[in-house]
Structure 1
Amino acid sequence: MKFKMQDKQNQLIERISDSHLVVGVDIAQELHVARAVNFRGIIVGDPLTFENNEEGFAKLLQWINQLKTLRGFASTIVGMEPTGHYWINLSKWLYDQDIEAVTVNPHLVKKNKENRDNSRSKSDKKDALVIADMVKNGYYSFIRHSSETFEKLRVLMSNRDMTVKRLVSAINQINRWVDIVFPELRQVFKDVKGKGAMATLRLFPTPLELRSMKAVDIVEGWKSQMKRQPGIKKAQALIELAVHSVGTRQALEAYKLHLEQLIEEFDLATVQLERVEQEVTSLLKQIPFARNLLAIKGISEIALAGILGESGDLSDFAHGNSLLRHAGLHLSEASSGKWKGQIVLSKRGRSRLRRFLYLATMSLVMNNPDFKELHANNVNVKKMKKMKSIMKLIHKLARVLVGMARKNDSYRSEKIQSISPIAA
Structure 2
Amino acid sequence: MKFKSQDKQNQLIEKITAQHLVVGIDIAQLTHVARAVNFRGIVIGNPLSFSNDEEGFQILHRWIQSLQAAHNFNSAIIGMEPTGHYWLSVSRWLSEKQFEVVLVNPHLVKKNKENRDNTPSKSDKKDALVIADMVKNGYYSFIRKTSEAFEELRVFLSNRDSVFTRLVSAKNQIHRWVDVVFPELRQVFKKLMCRGSLATLRLFPTPEELRNLTPQDVVRGWKSIMQRQPGNKKAQALIALASHSVGSTQATHAYKLHLKQLLAEYDLACEQLQDVETEIIAVLDRIPFVKSMLAVKGISAISLAGILGEAGDLSGFVHGNALLRHAGLNLAEASSGKWTGQMKISKRGRSRLRRFIFMMTLSLTANNPEFKAMHAYNVQVKKMKKMRSLMKLCGKLARILVGMARSSEAYNPHKMMPFRLAA
TM range (shorter): over 0.9
**1:2 maps to 2:2:** yes
CA distance in 1, matches of 2:293, 2:58: 43
Q: 3-state SS of the aligned residue for 2:146?
A: coil
Please name the residue that 2:12 is paired with.
12
Please name the residue that 2:45 is paired with.
45
The letter for the 2-side match of 1:203 is L
Please name the residue that 1:145 is paired with.
145
CA deviation vs aligned residue, 1:348-398 (integer Å, no higher than 9, x gap): 000000100011111111111111111111111111111111111110000
The letter for the 2-side match of 1:11 is Q
The letter for the 2-side match of 1:393 is L
Q: Is the 8 A contact 2:182 2:246 kept in 1?
A: yes
The letter for the 2-side match of 1:105 is N
Please name the residue that 2:353 is paired with.
353
Please name the residue that 1:244 is paired with.
244
Q: 3-state SS of the aligned residue for 1:120?
A: coil
Pairing of 1:22-101 with structure 2 (within 5 A): 22-101=22-101
C-alpha displacement of 1:418: 4.4
C-alpha displacement of 1:326: 0.3
C-alpha displacement of 1:5: 2.9
CA deviation vs aligned residue, 1:102-149 (integer Å, no higher than 9, x gap): 111112211221221222222111110111011101111111122111
CA deviation vs aligned residue, 1:170-227 (integer Å, no higher than 9, x gap): 0011001101111111111111111100010001000000000111111111111111
Please name the residue that 2:167 is paired with.
167
CA distance in 2, matches of 1:289, 1:2: 24
CA distance in 2, matches of 1:321, 1:406: 14
Please name the residue that 2:378 is paired with.
378
The letter for the 1-side match of 2:30 is E
CA separation of 1:419/1:354 partners in 2, compared to 1, >3 Å: closer, same or farther?
A: farther
**1:255 maps to 2:255:** yes
Q: 3-state SS of the aligned residue for 2:184?
A: helix
Structure 1 gap segments, 5+ residues each: none
CA deviation vs aligned residue, 1:257-306 (integer Å, no higher than 9, x gap): 11111111101100000000000000000000000000000100000000
What's the TM-score, normalizing by structure 2? 0.97
Q: Is the 8 A contact 2:211 2:239 kept in 1?
A: yes
CA distance in 2, matches of 1:331, 1:109: 21
Please name the residue that 2:330 is paired with.
330
CA distance in 1, matches of 2:170, 2:61: 48
Please name the residue that 1:294 is paired with.
294
Q: 3-state SS of the aligned residue for 1:271?
A: helix
CA distance in 1, matches of 2:351, 2:203: 42
Q: 3-state SS of the aligned residue for 1:288?
A: coil
CA distance in 2, matches of 1:120, 1:370: 51
CA distance in 2, matches of 1:118, 1:62: 33
CA distance in 2, matches of 1:317, 1:118: 38
Q: 3-state SS of the aligned residue for 1:77?
A: strand
CA distance in 1, matches of 2:115, 2:238: 72
C-alpha displacement of 1:416: 1.2
Please name the residue that 1:158 is paired with.
158
CA distance in 2, matches of 1:293, 1:302: 12
Pairing of 1:205-224 with structure 2 (within 5 A): 205-224=205-224
Q: Is the 8 A contact 2:3 2:319 kept in 1?
A: no
Please name the residue that 1:414 is paired with.
414
C-alpha displacement of 1:60: 1.1
Q: 3-state SS of the aligned residue for 2:45?
A: strand
The letter for the 2-side match of 1:228 is R
Pairing of 1:282-321 with structure 2 (within 5 A): 282-321=282-321
The letter for the 2-side match of 1:400 is I
Q: 3-state SS of the aligned residue for 2:241?
A: helix
Instruction: Give the number of equivalent residue pairs.
Output: 420
CA distance in 2, matches of 1:72, 1:64: 12
C-alpha displacement of 1:2: 3.3
C-alpha displacement of 1:231: 1.0
Please name the residue that 1:268 is paired with.
268
C-alpha displacement of 1:236: 1.2
CA distance in 1, matches of 2:408, 2:8: 27
Please name the residue that 2:103 is paired with.
103
CA distance in 2, matches of 1:118, 1:188: 67
Please name the residue that 1:229 is paired with.
229
C-alpha displacement of 1:65: 1.3
Please name the residue that 1:192 is paired with.
192
The letter for the 2-side match of 1:68 is Q
What's the TM-score, normalizing by structure 1? 0.97
Q: 3-state SS of the aligned residue for 1:61?
A: helix
The letter for the 2-side match of 1:7 is D
Structure 2 gap segments, 5+ residues each: none
C-alpha displacement of 1:419: 8.9
Deviates more, 1:37-46 or 1:290-299: 37-46
**Percent of aligned positions that are identical:** 67
Q: 3-state SS of the aligned residue for 1:144?
A: coil
Q: 3-state SS of the aligned residue for 1:230?
A: coil
Please name the residue that 1:394 is paired with.
394
C-alpha displacement of 1:40: 0.9
CA distance in 2, matches of 1:296, 1:54: 48
The letter for the 2-side match of 1:324 is L
